[in-house]
Amino acid sequence: MTERESIQRALEHLRASDDTLKEVMSMIDKEQSVKSMKRAGRMTLRTALIAALIAVLGIITALAASEGGFLQVVRNNFNVRDRAPDAEIVQMQDVETGEIRYFANSEVLGIIVDDEDGNATSYIIAFTAGEHAPKELRDWKLGKLPEGFEQTEASRDDRRGAVEYKAHPEGIRVELIDFSYELPGSGITFYQPFTLENVTVNGDDGVLIKSPIFTEEWQGQRYGLQQLHLFWFSSDAGVGFTLYYYGIPGIDLIELAESVEPV
């Protein structure tokens, strides 16, 4: 008996439980049932889960989305509706702290991050290879920023390079962590459900990371954003698919991409 045959015999009894498929089909049925309810105008399962979580944490008020120019640009430029007709952005306010948090009820929009003042400052969106979203982002970024957001001082070429930056496939591997990342000393927390693994699980081929819109170096230092970008940069090599970045505050994006060693 060959080595391969021996090992195959040793492992051949590893089989999924008999009820695995039955359980999966049951979950699918439940999921579709919830989707039907949502179409009828009821709260989505995802929103309900988020709301329940928030309630448990003592966060009570869930307000309807109030989309500013930024989020509108996201919608308009990223073809979100084509991929997820029911995509919504839900704004929730912590009644104790007044903090406003944004969640996406669709896996297409992965995360909206707030800063200390409760402003939406960043988002991450997964896309499928060949989709036009990255190009549209680039075109949008090279054009006029939405109302209420400052124009960065990066040059046109810098921005283009930042958006088009791709990770080196031979980069150093790092362990990825769940994407609930608190920036040191800033009080800014990035919330679940987004993880880089999620993107793979969802079948997407890449991730676009939009950095917080800060323009001064001190802002980046204050909020620990350079550390965050190092984290993303190192994660890039770990996941093995393309991450697009843009908007790193106070430093040249291309320089960061090419010269900073992954942590």
Chain residues that interact with other proteins, rule: CB under 8 A: 3-4, 6-11, 13-17, 20-21, 23-25, 27-28, 35, 39, 83, 85, 128, 170, 173, 175-178, 195, 197, 200-204, 238-240
Element (DSSP H or E) covering residue 206? strand 206-210
Give 175's contacts (C-beta < 8 A, 6+ positions apart). 238
Cα 186 to its chain centre, rounded Å, is 20
Q: How far is the CB of 16 from other proteins (least distance, A)?
A: 4
* Structure letter (DSSP) for residue 209: E
Handedness of CA 56, 57, 61, 65 (dihedral sign): negative
Q: How far is the CB of 235 from other proteins (least distance, A)?
A: 12
Q: How far is the CB of 203 from other proteins (least distance, A)?
A: 3
Whichever of 148 and 240 has its CB closer to other proteins, that residue is: 240
Whichever of 98 and 130 has its CB closer to other proteins, that residue is: 130
Q: How many CB atoms lie within 10 A of CB 32?
A: 10
Q: How far is the CB of 143 from other proteins (least distance, A)?
A: 29
Whichever of 19 and 117 has its CB closer to other proteins, that residue is: 19
Whichever of 24 and 60 has its CB closer to other proteins, that residue is: 24
Whichever of 6 and 97 has its CB closer to other proteins, that residue is: 6
Backbone angles phi, psi at 79, to 5 degrees: 55, 35
Q: Are 71 and 146 in contact (CB under 8 A)?
A: no
Give 36's contacts (C-beta < 8 A, 6+ positions apart). none
